[in-house]
Amino acid sequence: MKHMNSEKLDCIKQANDTIFSKKINKINNVVFVYTPIKVGSTTLVSSIRLSACNKFIVAHLHDEACLQVLTGITNVTITEIIQYNEYIGKNVYVIDVYRSPIERKISDFFEKIELHFNNTQLNINTYSLTRIINRFNRIFPYIATNDYFMDKYNIVIPETFDYNKKYVMVKQDNIHYIKLRLKDSSEWGNILSSLFEEEICIINDYETHNKSISDLYKKFKEEYRLPVNYLELIKQCKYLQYYYSEQEKNDYINMWEHKIISRACDYYNESEYNLYEKISIENMSYSNIQLEHYIDNGCLCKLCSVKRDELLQKHKCGQVVNEKINHNELVIHATNKRNAQIHKMLKPIDKKRRSQLLIMPKKYSNNLSLKIW
């Protein structure tokens, strides 16, 4: 960063300010949940926000395309933004998650299923399962094949994963890089509470079984049988070799050996798949980058903070949290409630005077709650 020209540094600052808004100035701990899709990352984001929004600010990023949608800036990388936060004195954590390979491929495929069939989820729900499975098998080797901790963070990784602690952490250039496993999600609260020195409660968020495609997704998982040649591919996966112990690998392979078909499956060669991907992207009529799917979007206004405390207490009491903290809805509710109180108090006053005293909210201003409370 010190040797970067001022123009580039200004671009990085602009991108960083867009992601974090003014909140970055108030909070010293910055967490980047920087992972591939469908590994449980949304749950991490919402859980950290709900548990410690006043002490940790969270950015959720999958790739530079996601970054461009968020910021409108094209010549900045996620790595540069991470390093910039360390440069300006923030305490920086970067989290990635490993998910078992076949399950991740299935989930990734269903997350982008409209892209694969150039159709809506409603229409795809009417497709035969055989059609869905055939498409999945033709592109199986190319789905979800990367690992950010190993391939993108540009760090020296430990020789072995810590199977007892169920995570590894590398501190490099004063940045903490953390690798978790989805199979240990029940331990994430304890792991992050220890690393952050702050209680973190894990609350599940944005699961595929809650989406409109959920019935087809469930049926696929129940009935899918893995072609035998794909099991051999999985056995050779370097990520599985690193993140799972010998016993865990054996258990995982044995589980899928009971769910295979003996015949091999043909799949697209590399040039065929590149053409398939190019045409699919050209046909895509929607953005698959979703910005408002969290339980908690991290707003620090009083209305959202009160709602955050309410949801956290529900979780601690064993209740299922299925609400979202929606700033605009909270503003409307608070405004209506306040207006009802004014109506009651000013009932004897003539209608014209009463209407002048009622709160008339501006269009969903993030500052409106300050006027109400």
pLDDT of residue 45: 94
What pLDDT is stored for residue 364 in this prediction? 46
pLDDT of residue 365: 45
What is the pairing mode between strands 226-227 and 260-261? parallel
Q: Are 149 and 97 in contact (CB under 8 A)?
A: no
DSSP string, 207-252: -GGGSTTHHHHHHHHHH--EEHHHHHHHHT-HHHHHHS-HHHHHHH
DSSP class of residue 170 equals E
> Is there a contact between 113 and 213 (Cβ–Cβ < 8 Å)?
yes
Quote the pLDDT of residue 336.
80
Model pLDDT, residue 367? 42
The distance of Cα 197 from the centroid of its chain, to the nearest Å, equals: 23
Instruction: Work out whether strand 175-181 and strand 168-172 pair parallel, antiparallel, or are unpaired.
Output: antiparallel
User: Which ranges of 112-235 would DSSP assign to H, the alpha helix?
Assistant: 113-117, 121-124, 129-139, 148-151, 188-196, 214-223, 228-235
Secondary structure (DSSP) of 320-333 = -----B-HHHHHHH
CB 203 within 8 A of CB 46: yes
Q: What end-to-end distance do the CA atoms of the chain give, in Å?
A: 42
By C-alpha distance, which of 248, 48, 239 is closest to 164? 248
Please tell me what DSSP assigns to residue 174: T
CA triplet 85, 88, 94: central angle to 5 degrees? 20
What does the DSSP 8-state code read for residue 317? T
Would you state the pLDDT for residue 373? 26
Look at the alpha carbons of 280, 283, 289, 292 in this order and tell me if their dihedral is positive or negative: negative
State the pTM of this model: 0.84
**Three-state SS at 160:** coil
Among candidate residues 291, 267, 294, 97, the one with its CA nearest the CA of residue 177 = 97
Q: What is the pLDDT along the chain (373 residues), one digit of tens a residue?
A: 767 788 899 999 999 999 987 666 779 999 999 999 999 999 999 999 999 998 999 999 999 988 988 888 889 999 999 999 999 999 999 999 999 999 999 999 999 999 999 999 999 999 999 999 999 999 999 999 999 999 999 999 999 999 999 999 999 999 999 999 999 999 999 999 999 999 999 998 755 455 788 999 999 999 999 999 999 999 999 999 999 999 999 999 999 999 999 999 999 999 999 999 999 988 876 555 555 567 878 887 888 888 888 888 888 888 888 788 887 887 887 888 777 777 677 666 666 565 665 666 555 444 433 232 2
DSSP state, residue 92: E
Q: What is the pLDDT of residue 317?
A: 83
pLDDT at position 372 is: 26
Per-residue confidence (pLDDT) for residue 325, from 0 to 100: 83
Residue 30 sits at φ, ψ, to 5 deg, of -115, 125
Q: Where are the domains of the chain?
A: 6-294, 303-372
